[in-house]
Structure 1
Amino acid sequence: MENLLAKLDRIAGGRHADYTIAPEARDDPRTRRSFVVITWLLVAEFVLGVTAVAIAAVLQLTGHPVQWAVWMRSAVVLGMTVTLFYFAWRAQKGYYWAYSRLRLFSKIFPIVTLVIAAIPGLYPLWMVTEQIIFSLILIGVADYLDSDHMRSAFPRPARRNQGTTADVLR
């Protein structure tokens, strides 16, 4: 299983897939506490996503047509949340790349979600409300990841020496 995860990490983590933070930073009570809160926020995201699918299914089964965009959005939210869980899990293990991806996506997804929610008539009111709540929860995740402690616990990896211009021209 760990071999499969290492391959997935290589794809998701790129050149920094093997870089992990110091064990002291990973095991620091403030780091662990932050990840407990982040995990619970992601659980709330997942419950929100499952609830959206359930509402759409109930509406469809009771004869109310549900737009294709609602089904697609519900599937995307669940997929994104599962991905964020993976990043959070690997970040808890000390992988910088996972922390970096989680931090980036927890900032980008709320913006994209709110912009899409603002498109008139695209989603019913209950779905727009779900998107706003989704965004607020992710902003909370981003807030924890951007704390001074978390940024110092997950220092950016040093750049690898790319060689000099003369080395590249040889």
Structure 2
Amino acid sequence: MKNDHLNTVVKLLSAFLVISLATIVATVLMRHNPTLVTTAVWIRTPLVAASAAILLVLARRAATGHRGSFRRLRIISPVVLTAIIVVVAWPGAFPVWLRVEQAVCGVFLLSVVVRTNLRGVGSSLEAGSEHSATTPATRR
């Protein structure tokens, strides 16, 4: 079944991953400037890219009807969004350029959280798509 919200979520998370990977490249290019690339930046950027990749995998699986992936997407995406909000709001912990980048990613992720929690999005997934042994005819 086609689910436009989940297809949009895949696109949003693809953009989130691209931005996150570009941020790692920017970090490497600016590595000689300790005011722009702090230890916190070196730690944060790969973690954000990894979370973006995981969320994208979950979204792609959810878009194909996998209920477990959809459930995980709905649990993990608000956690990642909360971490992004902390980075953006925590004065002095991260350079301004990274806080701006994280704010942009936060907008994408906020849209993901909203879209995955809309009424009917999860119910449109095919029942039993987690490879259960029962068929729809045997479930009551």
TM-score (norm 1): 0.67
- Which residue in the other structure is 1:53 paired with? 24
From 43, 58, 82, give the equivalent of 1:111.
82
| SS of residue matched to 2:121 | helix
- Which residue in the other structure is 1:40 paired with? 11
Gaps of 5+ in 1: 1-26, 158-170
Q: Which has the higher contact order (CA 8 A, sep 6+)?
A: 2
1:125 aligned to 2:102? no
- Displacement over 3 Å in runs of 4+: 154-157
Task: Indicate the percent of aligned positions where both proteins have the same amino acid.
Answer: 25
The AA in structure 1 aligned to 2:40 is: A
Q: What is the alpha-carbon distance in structure 1 between the residues aligned to residue 73 and residue 51 of structure 2?
A: 11
Across the aligned residues of Structure 1 and Structure 2, the Cα RMSD in angstroms comes to: 2.0
TM-score (norm 2): 0.80
1:64 aligned to 2:33? yes
Cα deviation digits, residues 6-63 of structure 1 (max 9, x gap): xxxxxxxxxxxxxxxxxxxxx1x3x1x2222111101110111012112211211xx3
Cα deviation digits, residues 47-97 of structure 1 (max 9, x gap): 11012112211211xx31221110111100110011111111221232211
Q: 1:70 to 1:42 in 2, by over 3 A?
A: same
From 89, 93, 97, give the equivalent of 2:60.
89
| SS of residue matched to 1:123 | coil
Q: What is the alpha-carbon distance in structure 2 between the residues aligned to residue 92 and residue 44 of structure 1?
A: 16
| SS of residue matched to 1:149 | coil
Q: 1:74 to 1:151 in 2, by over 3 A?
A: same
The AA in structure 2 aligned to 1:141 is: V
Does the aligned pair in 1 maintain the 2:70–2:122 contact within 8 Å? no
CA apart distance, 1:154: 4.4
Q: For the pair shown, which has the larger CA radius of gyration, 1 or 2?
A: 1
Does the aligned pair in 1 maintain the 2:65–2:126 contact within 8 Å? no
Does the aligned pair in 1 maintain the 2:7–2:63 contact within 8 Å? no
Number of equivalenced pairs:
126
Gaps of 5+ in 2: 129-140
